[in-house]
Amino acid sequence: MRKGESIVAHFDWALFVSYLILLIMGVATVYSTAYNEDHPSLFDFSQKYGKQIIWLGVSLFLGLIVFLIDSDIYQKFAVPIYLFTLSLLVVVLFMPPVHGARAWLGIGTMGIQPAEFAKIGSALLLARFISNVNVKQQNIQTVFLANAIILIPMALILLQPDAGTFVVFTSFLFVMYREGITYDPLILKIMNGIPGVKFKQTWVGSHFIPILFVVVFLSLVTLLMSNEVLEFDFLPGLEIPGFWSVIISLTILALLALVISRLLGAKRERKRVLFVVLIGFVLAAGLSSIVNFGFQGLAEHQKDRIELFLGLKEDPNGEDYNRNRAMAAVGSGGFLGKGYNKASVSSVESNHVPESETDFIFCPFAEEWGFAGVFILVSVYMFVLMRIIVIAERQRSVFNRVYAYAVGMILFYHFAINIGMNIGFAPVIGIPLPFFSYGGSSMMSFSMMLFILLKLDSQRRDVLQ
């Protein structure tokens, strides 16, 4: 910090003000949703809106402390912070289950969710690790350690089980991809271990994200076809299970690729192309088989949720009740909404939408303010996300940039999946809307995460890279 400059000389006020706007909108929505006529005061701490005020105050206080700490501390102590959050994830596995999951550590009548803070620890350690390696000379150890940083907490979170947070942790894969951490060294080691084959480089690891989208697409196709049976009019009596139709399609595509490469490709490349096509076919067929048989081995209620999400069945008053009522609440808001504190479908009192003040808080907001209000809310979130990208790109430090992108991806995942849950575009996996949903753990963790970013950015001019 230069002499004579204030600690907030380079503070990003645009991001901070946007954060405050979301906090205020969130508290107002919690108050409206959980309003109790017998306890009308916003500061009645026996009510959820009163508790939310407490969490808001605690979050701002923690944010202030985080901001006052020198930014070098977060890089120097990334390992202890990460190990501490991991220890909490281990301890919570021995706690009594709450709603079927061991995800909470009780503190008196209150509780915290360690998985929320594990995101911060993982983001800091991943940023420190990437800033200390040369990604242009990465090896198997580099790839292994980078992935271990996120896979260890993911495994512990899966044991709770907390599917929502588990999915959010996959956001770090995009951060690694952005920074050039690929699976090329590992893939080359495997491929060159086969006799008679020698590759100097591979585009597979470098194109991880496009391949990931192909994997998701193939998995969805397999699930959609898993319970189908294909019949052919020109061959009476011939029936092919849907899964095998996927395998047959993959086989035909592989054969076409081989024929085209033989007709158009150079002779010296035929062996290499044959190998790549065969490996691709085996991996695709293997993935499809794992998805199909894994789906068939699920419990009935788990299969029901997947089929409901994919539109393969309807059960508006059963397993699909939450999503069905959420969409009804959002749709009932119309263009301008019903007005503040006038939500009928999604209020806590009506109980038509369970968890309407937490995971489904978008519902009462959309019902009260309609499309116009939703447009404003989404615009604020988009501004926050774009501002974080701007902050990330102006950093001189690799550590700062990686951490900024990690924060941006985590917030994007929560924003996209939570709203997707409310409008039927994403499965119901139970994750909060950042700075908006009722809950202390998410409020504190998101606030600390953001204030660390603001602190790192405010001292970016002092960093020589």
The Cα 438–Cα 358 span in angstroms is 5
The Cα 381–Cα 346 span in angstroms is 22
User: Is residue 312 within 8 Å of 326, Cβ to Cβ?
Assistant: no
User: Is residue 173 within 8 Å of 219, Cβ to Cβ?
Assistant: no
pLDDT at 1 over 50: no
User: Which helix (H) or strand (E) is 168 found in, with range?
Assistant: helix 163-168
Question: What number of other Cβ atoms are within 10 A of residue 111's Cβ?
Answer: 16
Q: How far is CA 171 from CA 74, 153, 191, 208, 407, in A?
A: 21, 13, 28, 13, 9
Confidence grade of residue 422 (pLDDT, cut at 50, 70, 90) = confident
Higher-pLDDT residue of 178, 152: 152
3-state class (DSSP) for residue 417 = helix
The Cα 89–Cα 105 span in angstroms is 9
In sequence order, the β-bridge partners of residue 276 are none
Higher-pLDDT residue of 420, 278: 420
Closest CA to 144 of 167, 176, 171: 176
User: Is residue 116 within 8 Å of 442, Cβ to Cβ?
Assistant: yes
What torsion do the CA atoms of 74, 76, 82, 83 make, to the nearest 10 degrees?
-140
The Cα 126–Cα 120 span in angstroms is 10
User: Is residue 129 within 8 Å of 145, Cβ to Cβ?
Assistant: yes
HSE-CB of 350 using CA atoms within 13 angstroms: 16
Residues in the chain: 465
Confidence grade of residue 424 (pLDDT, cut at 50, 70, 90) = confident
The Cα 15–Cα 346 span in angstroms is 30
| Model confidence pLDDT, tens digit, residues 131-171 | 988 877 777 888 888 889 999 999 999 888 788 888 899 89
User: Is residue 297 within 8 Å of 393, Cβ to Cβ?
Assistant: no
Average pLDDT taken over every residue of the chain: 80
195 Cβ contact partners less than 8 Å away, ≥ 6 residues apart? none
Residue showing tokens 């198997």: 140
| Model confidence pLDDT, tens digit, residues 52-61 | 999 999 999 9
The Cα 433–Cα 88 span in angstroms is 23
Q: Taking the model in full, what pTM does it have?
A: 0.81
Residue showing tokens 């949720």: 305
